[in-house]
Chains A and B, each alone.
Chain A
Amino acid sequence: MEELILELKKQIIEALNLEDITPDDIDTNAPLFVEGLGLDSIDALELIVLMEKNYGIKLEDPGKSKEIFKSVATMAEYIEKNRTK
Chain B
Amino acid sequence: MEKIYVTGFGIITSLGAGTADTLESLHHRKSGIGPLRWLESMHSHLPCAEIPFSTDELRCMAGVPKEQMITRTSLMGIIALGEALEMAGIRSKNSLNPVLISGTTVGGMENTEKYFLRMLTPDKTYDDYILSHDCGVCTQLIADHYGGFDMLSTLSTACSSAANALIMGSDMIRTGRTSIAVVGGSECLSKFHLNGFNTLKILDKEPCRPFDDTRAGLNLGEGAAYLVLESEASVKTRGVKPLCLVAGYGNACDAYHQTASSPEGDGAVLSMTKALKEAGLEPGDIDYVNAHGTGTPNNDESEGKALMRVFGTNSVPPVSSTKSYTGHTTSAAGSVESVISILAMLNNFLPVNLNYKNPMEMLSFRPVTDEKPPRPIRNVMTNSFGFGGNDTTCIFSKI
> What residues make up the interface of A, taking CB atoms closer than 8 Å to B?
40-42, 45, 48-49, 62
Give the total of B residues in contact with A, Cβ under 8 Å: 7
Q: Are A40 and B257 in contact (CB under 8 A)?
A: yes
Q: Are B258 and A42 in contact (CB under 8 A)?
A: yes
**A49 CA / B199 CA spacing, docked (Å):** 9
Contacts of B200 in A (CB 8 A): 42, 45
Among A40, A42, A49, residue most surrounded by chain B Cβ atoms (within 10 Å): A42
Among B199, B201, B259, B260, residue most surrounded by chain A Cβ atoms (within 10 Å): B201
B318-349 interface with A by 8 A CB criterion: none
Residue of B nearest to A48 (CB): B201
Q: Is the interface of B mostly helix, strand, loop or mixed?
A: loop
Contacts of A40 in B (CB 8 A): 257
Q: Could you give, for residues 73-117 of chain B, a 1 whenever the CB lies within 8 Å of some chain A CB and a 0 otherwise? A: 000000000000000000000000000000000000000000000
Can you list 12 contacts pairing A with B, beta carbon distance less than 8 Å?
A: A40-B257, A41-B257, A41-B260, A42-B200, A42-B258, A42-B259, A45-B199, A45-B200, A45-B201, A48-B201, A49-B199, A62-B201
Q: Is the interface of A mostly helix, strand, loop or mixed?
A: helix
Say how far B43's CB is from chain A's closest CB, in angstroms.
Answer: 13
Among A41, A45, A49, residue most surrounded by chain B Cβ atoms (within 10 Å): A41
B47-68 interface with A by 8 A CB criterion: none
Say how far A78's CB is from chain B's closest CB, in angstroms.
Answer: 18
Contacts of B258 in A (CB 8 A): 42
Residue of A nearest to B205 (CB): A60
Residue of B nearest to A40 (CB): B257
Given contacts A40-B257, A49-B199, A62-B201, 9 further A-B contacts (CB under 8 A): A41-B257, A41-B260, A42-B200, A42-B258, A42-B259, A45-B199, A45-B200, A45-B201, A48-B201
Contacts of A41 in B (CB 8 A): 257, 260
Contacts of A42 in B (CB 8 A): 200, 258-259
Say how far A66's CB is from chain B's closest CB, in angstroms.
Answer: 13
Contacts of A45 in B (CB 8 A): 199-201
